[in-house]
Chains A and B, each alone.
Chain A
Amino acid sequence: MTTAGSLSSELRDLYTTESARIREDFAATGNGRAAISQRTALVEKIAHHLWKEVICPEEQGPQRFALVALGGFGRSWLFPHSDIDLLFLHADHETEEASKDQVRGFSQGLWDLRLKVSPATRVLSECDRFDPANVEFAISLLDCRYLAGDRDLFTRLHDKVIPKLMIRETQPLVQRLADVTRKRYEKFGNTIFHLEPDVKDTPGGLRDCNVALWLSLLSSMEKLHDWPDPKSLLSSSARKQFEPALDFLMSVRCFLHLRYGRDDNMLSWEAQEEAAKRGIGVYDAHELAPADWMRIYFSHARSVHRTATQLLEEIPAAWSSLSRHFHNLRARVSDADFSVVDGLVFLRQASVLQDPEVLLRLFHFVAHHDVRLGTTTEYKIEQVLPSLAATPPRGAELWLYLGEILAQPHAAQALRAMHSLRLLTLLLPELKAIDSLVVRDFYHRFTVDEHSFLAIESLHRLQQSHSEWEKQYAGILDELEQPELLYLSLLLHDTGKGVQSENHVEGSLLIAEQCLERLDLESSERDTVLFLIGNHLEMSAALRRDIFDSPTVAAFADKVGTPERLKMLCLFTYADIKAVNPDALTPWKAENVWQLYIAAANQLNRNVDQRLHPGADLDDEKIARLRALAPVAGKKVKAFLEGFPQRYLRTYAVNEVLHHLEMAESLGKQPIQLDLKRGRHWFELTLVTNDRPFLFGRVAGTLAAWGMNIVKANAFSNQAGTVVDTFYFTDRFRTLELNLSEWERFKRGISDVLTGEADLERMLKSRMQAEEKKATPRVKIKTSIEFDNLCSSNSTLVQVVAQDRPGLLYTVASCFAHHKCNIEIALIDTEGQMAIDVFYLSADRKKLAGDHLKQVETALREALQSGLPHGITSTVKPLNH
């Protein structure tokens, strides 16, 4: 027998020499699987030496005591600096007690070699017991492997105890595994796309490989009541992608361990550079650019993650009774083409996917219902992709579906699913340049594509937010007329990072232009998307200046132009910062963004009555475009625009202004021009006519009498007295929605009220009687009236904030008309049950003043109080006059 000292030195030499050889072999071949198998064999050899010296001279002795490899060692996956999990297995407590010193000596021998050993001691009967507090031990038994000692004892563990335990406890084991995995995913932001991933723990890493294999093993054991054939663990299609991914990840983790000299699995920038240079894990080990090498990493991580998450979703035992109940509720969302089982979508008929429309509808379904694609559904989608690639959907048809998908609450989930199947880049090839793209940046944590999805997701999540400041952002998101344009901008805003260009914003604009052209967006929609992309850093830049400085706010507001764009840019900035990394949007930044938003919003709303003089405003881009579009009507355009407030041009797109001009030219034939359209969220009524007293109030009253709820309104007039009023309303009783024939009667009704042929008072009275029966509002809004004579040079600003109710706008506007106030501009808005109405009033083309102002103020207060439900108080706050 060797002495302890000489054995230790002999084993140390063996370990040092063999470890050096493994390192050299890996340097030459880059083969991770070979390296971990060699290290497993080396540690095994050392364990055998020690066993013979310390425990029993016979490798298969003594009786009733065995040495078992667990975890990674049991799987024969010992990476250069992995822990070594060992089980000292005893038949009973007597042998356990008798061999305590030997076990200590054995472990000491390994520790002396500086091997990190995690030993566990159990008697056989203890291995049959399930300990909910130590599920990890039960899981580690799934990888057990005989090393030395009593082979019969090990066979009893392997063939009887473990299958019995696993079959009996499948459900809690799977549940626990699923819980731990989901927690780990959350820690990494539920994405594989980290710029510096941990190849073991990040979703899609080696830990997911284990999870997939364990889940599959547990599921098979439950069915077979025995150990399954290891080759049957994953389906052949999953294995086709899983095995190369596993090879790659093994090589990368070996490389990292050898590079750092410790169990460090972080794929840092520097490590990426070196791995790419050496072609680690790549066939024939050729040198690659770091970004291209990382794309290979992400494609493998994606396969692993997909396999693991599919198994987590599909193994029914993985669901707790609560989530199962929840998912079964979702089954009710199934429709003629798609069925939902346990939160997974399946196709009722595979052939339906031949129709691209059905394919797009499937992702709309995912985005709407928070469900995932079943494995067979994904497989069928993959099968139709080649034929779809020959004639991909494009133009307005594609945008119709894409816009709808983007606006759904789980859009990011649908986009990720489309991206993972390569469908997204097939539909929007512009995104190829940022597919799994790593851009080195100290602040960004995710790849460029994932950053864009996260930005979209963070906006949708605002709807469920409980924090006060997030609710403010959620409020303006709700008010957007075309939120899909904001989401599309977010999807495209960083595409420029994937191409060579001086600055990525310019690059993104060029790419987005091509994309918008292909999607056939209307010109005003294109303008909005390009504006948001082109200016997506403007708000962040303004935050670096003094946001309480009026000229800074004015310059920013001027650049943004309209309140709608300001809302979009504010939300864009919020989402863009939030998607950089989980800590990027500090409360400090969020509050500063909001402060800048409200300062700019006030700037835009209170400096809107400056009059247009097209002759002088030559530098206005919109006027130039109007002239370019209507060169023949040049003089008419000029005359029409003369005297409109600046806000008019900021509110309407060029084509809308030209349409107003056409309507104004027809006033000779028909003195009241009305245009009714149905928009995405509401109806839009445009009125062009010559100004007259009570005009705005009468239209508002007629709409109220028809049961329409006015959500927004704009009122403008030019120097010639032509009025352009637009009312945006919802059709509470679906009168117009269900009866096309009512459209004409509705428009005629408005004309009749304006010409005095219909009795508005009578119409309103019957409506109010019907409304009185309605319940009192759930949220009570305190009425606030603010007069401001300082913010405008020509008008008095009146802001009314009050409980929204039918006829409110009519009440306010009539009060002004009765007191001979001319509404120069009206900006009507609704936020939930709060009406926020801003009016610019004049009397004889001057501001309101003196007694007249006081009379208007008193009358308005009385009018609002008399119309308010019982119990709501009113305050009148005279300001600055």
Chain B
Amino acid sequence: MTKVEAIIQVSKLESVKNSLHEIGIEGMTVLEARGHGRQKGHTEFYRGREYTVDLIPKIKLELVVAEPMVEKVVQAISAAARTGKIGDGKIFLSRIDEIIRIRNDERGEDAL
């Protein structure tokens, strides 16, 4: 099993969710995030004050999927989140040893 963590643009959340639903992914965790990679901040002046946003609002998606689904999930997220401009985000993959469903102690892929 693989954990997929994707940092995406806030505006792309709906389309990414829809794409994941289309390939049968129902569950995910969505977190409000801030950060930047190579895309640097943004400055606004308001009433003589400088407002610098060096950490840009982003959305972080987290989901764990069975091996056969990993590539499909990556492609669904990439296709839906891509604008081709800097700041589109990143996808991180990592191995998961075990999953336990708290309600009934199911384990492994059954608990997905």
Residues of chain A at the chain B interface (Cβ within 8 Å): 543-548, 586, 588-589, 591-592, 595, 598-599, 601-602, 784, 786, 799, 801, 829, 831, 834, 836
Contacts of A784 in B (CB 8 A): 48
Per-position 1/0 for B58-87, Cβ under 8 A of A: 000000000000000000000000000000
Given known A-B contacts A543-B10, A545-B11, A546-B11, A586 and B47 have beta carbons under 8 A apart = no
Report the Cα distance A308→B10, complex, angstroms. Answer: 46
For B46, the closest partner residue in chain A by CB is A598
Task: Check B46–A544 contact: CB distance below 8 A.
Answer: no
Report the Cα distance A606→B45, complex, angstroms. Answer: 11
Report the Cα distance A547→B44, complex, angstroms. Answer: 12
For B57, the closest partner residue in chain A by CB is A592
Task: Check B10–A544 contact: CB distance below 8 A.
Answer: yes
Task: Check B32–A598 contact: CB distance below 8 A.
Answer: no
Contacts of B48 in A (CB 8 A): 784, 786, 799, 801, 834, 836
Given known A-B contacts A548-B42, A602-B44, A602-B46, A595 and B51 have beta carbons under 8 A apart = yes
Task: Check B45–A786 contact: CB distance below 8 A.
Answer: yes
Report the Cα distance A13→B46, complex, angstroms. Answer: 76
Task: Check A588–B47 contact: CB distance below 8 A.
Answer: no
Q: Is B14 an interface residue (CB 8 A)?
A: yes
Contacts of A801 in B (CB 8 A): 47-48
Task: Check A598–B56 contact: CB distance below 8 A.
Answer: no
Given known A-B contacts A586-B32, A588-B34, A546 and B42 have beta carbons under 8 A apart = no
Task: Check A599–B44 contact: CB distance below 8 A.
Answer: yes
Task: Check A598–B11 contact: CB distance below 8 A.
Answer: no
Report the Cα distance A544→B53, complex, angstroms. Answer: 17
Task: Check A602–B11 contact: CB distance below 8 A.
Answer: no
Contacts of B13 in A (CB 8 A): 544
Contacts of A829 in B (CB 8 A): 47
A-B contact list, 9 entries, CB within 8 Å: A544-B11, A546-B10, A547-B10, A588-B32, A589-B32, A595-B51, A598-B51, A801-B47, A831-B47
**CB < 8 Å neighbour of B56 from A548, A831, A834:** A548
Contacts of A602 in B (CB 8 A): 44-46
Q: Which of B13, B32, B44, B47 has the most CB of A within 10 A?
A: B47
Q: Is B2 an interface residue (CB 8 A)?
A: no
For B55, the closest partner residue in chain A by CB is A591
For B51, the closest partner residue in chain A by CB is A598
Contacts of B46 in A (CB 8 A): 598, 601-602
Report the Cα distance A55→B22, complex, angstroms. Answer: 70
Report the Cα distance A548→B42, complex, angstroms. Answer: 8
Task: Check A834–B34 contact: CB distance below 8 A.
Answer: no
Task: Check B45–A595 contact: CB distance below 8 A.
Answer: no
Report the Cα distance A544→B45, complex, angstroms. Answer: 23
For A591, the closest partner residue in chain B by CB is B57
**CB < 8 Å neighbour of A546 from B9, B33, B34:** B9
For B44, the closest partner residue in chain A by CB is A598
Report the Cα distance A591→B34, complex, angstroms. Answer: 11
Contacts of A598 in B (CB 8 A): 44, 46, 51
- Distance in Å from the Cβ of A177 to the closest Cβ of chain B? 38
Report the Cα distance A835→B78, complex, angstroms. Answer: 48
- Distance in Å from the Cβ of A877 to the closest Cβ of chain B? 10
- Extra contacts, 16 of them, besides A546-B11, A598-B46, A801-B48 (Cβ < 8 A), are A544-B13, A545-B11, A588-B57, A591-B57, A592-B10, A595-B51, A601-B46, A602-B45, A602-B46, A786-B45, A786-B48, A799-B45, A801-B47, A829-B47, A831-B47, A834-B48
Task: Check B11–A834 contact: CB distance below 8 A.
Answer: no
For A594, the closest partner residue in chain B by CB is B51
- Distance in Å from the Cβ of B52 to the closest Cβ of chain A? 11
Report the Cα distance A545→B57, complex, angstroms. Answer: 11
Report the Cα distance A601→B10, complex, angstroms. Answer: 22
Report the Cα distance A801→B48, complex, angstroms. Answer: 6
Contacts of B57 in A (CB 8 A): 547, 588, 591-592
**8 interchain residue pairs of minimum CB distance:** A801-B48, A588-B32, A598-B46, A545-B11, A546-B11, A784-B48, A836-B47, A548-B42
Report the Cα distance A834→B42, complex, angstroms. Answer: 25
Report the Cα distance A547→B56, complex, angstroms. Answer: 10
Given known A-B contacts A586-B32, A592-B57, A544 and B14 have beta carbons under 8 A apart = yes
Report the Cα distance A543→B45, complex, angstroms. Answer: 20
Report the Cα distance A191→B39, complex, angstroms. Answer: 45
Contacts of A589 in B (CB 8 A): 32
Q: Which of A546, A599, A602, A784 has the most CB of B within 10 A?
A: A546
Contacts of B14 in A (CB 8 A): 544
Contacts of A786 in B (CB 8 A): 45, 48
Report the Cα distance A543→B32, complex, angstroms. Answer: 12
**CB < 8 Å neighbour of A834 from B32, B33, B44, B47:** B47
Report the Cα distance A638→B1, complex, angstroms. Answer: 70
Report the Cα distance A801→B45, complex, angstroms. Answer: 12
For A783, the closest partner residue in chain B by CB is B48
- Distance in Å from the Cβ of B28 to the closest Cβ of chain A? 15
Task: Check A595–B47 contact: CB distance below 8 A.
Answer: no
- Distance in Å from the Cβ of B2 to the closest Cβ of chain A? 27
Task: Check A595–B44 contact: CB distance below 8 A.
Answer: yes
Given known A-B contacts A545-B11, A602-B44, A836-B47, A595 and B53 have beta carbons under 8 A apart = yes
